[in-house]
Structure 1
Amino acid sequence: MISVVIPLYNKEASIAQSLKSVLSQEYDDFEVVIVDDGSTDGSVSIVEAMNNPRIRLIKQENGGPSKARNAGVKNAKGEWILFLDADDEFLPGALEYFAKNINKHKDTSFIFAPFYTSRCGNKKLACKYQEGVVENPYKEHFFGRILPRTGAFVCTRELCLKEPFNENIRRFEDLEWLYRIYKHTKIYKIPTPVLTTNIDFSAASRARKDIKEDFLGHLDFNGKSFWEKMALYAFYLGERNYYPEQCRKLYPGLHRRYDWLLLYKLIHFLK
């Protein structure tokens, strides 16, 4: 069974459509675990009104997406977990496609696929993959050749219990989680898109007041491989302007690592 885990917080404008995209799947060996994270709008009423036996609704006080996902995993009955954001939509056949690849690649615990982005009605493919094992995920992530995202990957419940989401992080918590599981998880990429992510509803780009609620506030370069360091550094370069003062205090020497900056630019130049 695949458990579709949906963290829900004030998504009354999109949750019905997201759920319809799940419940309309022809593949039927799945459940939907919705964790309401203290919504203050009509999101919960919309879910309850659907009255579908596949849906289990769990309510908790607001604790952020990581806490909601972890709660969903703990309550899930399936051996495989698929995290879906409450404003994204599965494409037809998505669950069946994942199920076929789960059965085909029994030696892996993480399988991901391409997805579309939609903004103001304009839809485009965010990434393309050739099927196969990802040998060095940090390197591939650094060059933007892979882009796993919630809704477009499936992983084992065992992996999620072993490596839960960091509940202190509310921005880029999924990236922090990915960088942890990359260390010890065989991951497999498949070529057919499975999801449309609706950027119109997304609030992920908004910086937090406290950098410690952002993955950017938890970067650790000690004991990391070369490509993991480069992936972390690339993330730092892309996000540091959101927290200029906090970054200087937290990473006093990093903004002066001109050797790393030169190496970063050289790698991109030579790729």
Structure 2
Amino acid sequence: MSELVSIIIPYHNGQDYIEECLVSVYNQSYKNIEAIVVNDGSPHTFLEELQKDKYPSLKLYLQQNQGPSVARNRGVELASGKYILFLDCDDTIEPTFVEKTFNVLKNQPEVRLCYTKGNYFEEKTGEWYLPEFNLNNFLLCNCIPISTLFYKEDFIKSGGFDERLKFFEDWDLWMSIIEKGNKVARIEEFLFNYRIRNQKNSLTNTWANNHFVVADYKFIIYQKHYALYEKNGLDFNSLTNIVSERNKYKRKYYNVWYKKLIYKFFKKKNIRKFMTHYKFTHKKNIIHIRIMFFYFEKS
């Protein structure tokens, strides 16, 4: 018999979308699945009605509103499957998603995370660009969506979602799994559908526009996974590339997390020694880094 796959769906006021999500779950070609919906504080009885009328095998759990990370952690605690897939309550997966990602994990033991290409739908359509996994690129920008099939035991070993994080929590989780030497695979098919709507993205946009909050969350991730960054050559030049987020954030904001990150890598006493031995190939980098050193020493 095939292994059980647990599909965990955090739910909060998603009554307009959850049935479409569940249809995509129960239409999977891979049949040995369990669907777990963690109701994160929604007061209505819509889920109970769906369970009674259409999906008697659906597992429901109610908790006070604590956010999706807490809901997902709780869902994994309730899960019986060897494999886990998270799916937001307003997103959908194509009928062969579980079958094809499962086959990758089954046939390639070194692979512990498997995702697919994705599409936007509703207010925005077209491809959601999820590039093929490359560790160095991944360390600078997450390319692995929340809807990725992986092993439950890896989730437990990693400690699950860091509930301090309101942003980048999936990036943090994937790093915890990858830094143990596990491989990642992407399927060259569009099997995941990510809904774009104003209400869904309002919280995300609120956090993204608070640059100090974003900086703090990023710094938590860099602190937690410093060994992984160092092992993969995140040198000073790489840090200046990270700061290219000037396209997203104003200069006055990114200096906050950048300064913290620099102190993590190079203490003041090592700055001049580093400058003596490091070879810079671009004059702009030299000027930029010298300015940053001056800034640190004055502060």
Secondary structure in 1 aligned to 2:218? helix
Residue 234 (structure 1) aligns with:
242
Displacement, 1:179?
Answer: 2.5
When you count helix as a share of all residues, which structure comes out higher? 2
Within-5 A mapping of 1:145-160: 147-151=143-147, 153-160=148-155
Residue 172 (structure 1) aligns with:
168
Residue 202 (structure 1) aligns with:
201
Displacement, 1:212?
Answer: 7.8
State which drifts further: 94-103 or 78-87. Answer: 94-103
Aligned sequence identity (%): 21
Q: Aligned pair count? A: 254
Q: 1:6 to 1:160 in 2, by over 3 A?
A: same
Mapped pair 1:189 → 2:191: no
Secondary structure in 1 aligned to 2:194? strand
Structure 1: tracts of 5 or more residues without a match: 266-271
Ranked by relative contact order (alpha carbons within 8 Å, sequence separation 6 or more), the top structure is: 1
Q: 1:93 to 1:86 in 2, by over 3 A?
A: same
TM-score, normalised on structure 2? 0.70
TM-score, normalised on structure 1? 0.77
Displacement, 1:117?
Answer: 1.7
Match of 1:94 among 79, 87, 97: 97
Within-5 A mapping of 1:26-65: 26-40=29-43, 44-45=47-48, 47-48=50-51, 50-65=53-68
C-alpha distance after superposition, 1:32-74 (max 9, x if no partner): 0111111246664564455413310111112211111111111
CA RMSD of aligned residues (A): 3.7
Mapped pair 1:70 → 2:85: no
Note if contact 1:248-1:255 (Cα within 8 Å) is conserved in structure 2. no
Counterparts of 2:251 and 2:70, CA distance in 1: 24
Secondary structure in 1 aligned to 2:38? strand
Residue 116 (structure 1) aligns with:
119
Displacement, 1:182?
Answer: 2.2
Residue 273 (structure 2) aligns with:
none
Counterparts of 1:231 and 1:115, CA distance in 2: 29
Counterpart of 1:193, as a letter, is F
Counterparts of 2:35 and 2:115, CA distance in 1: 19
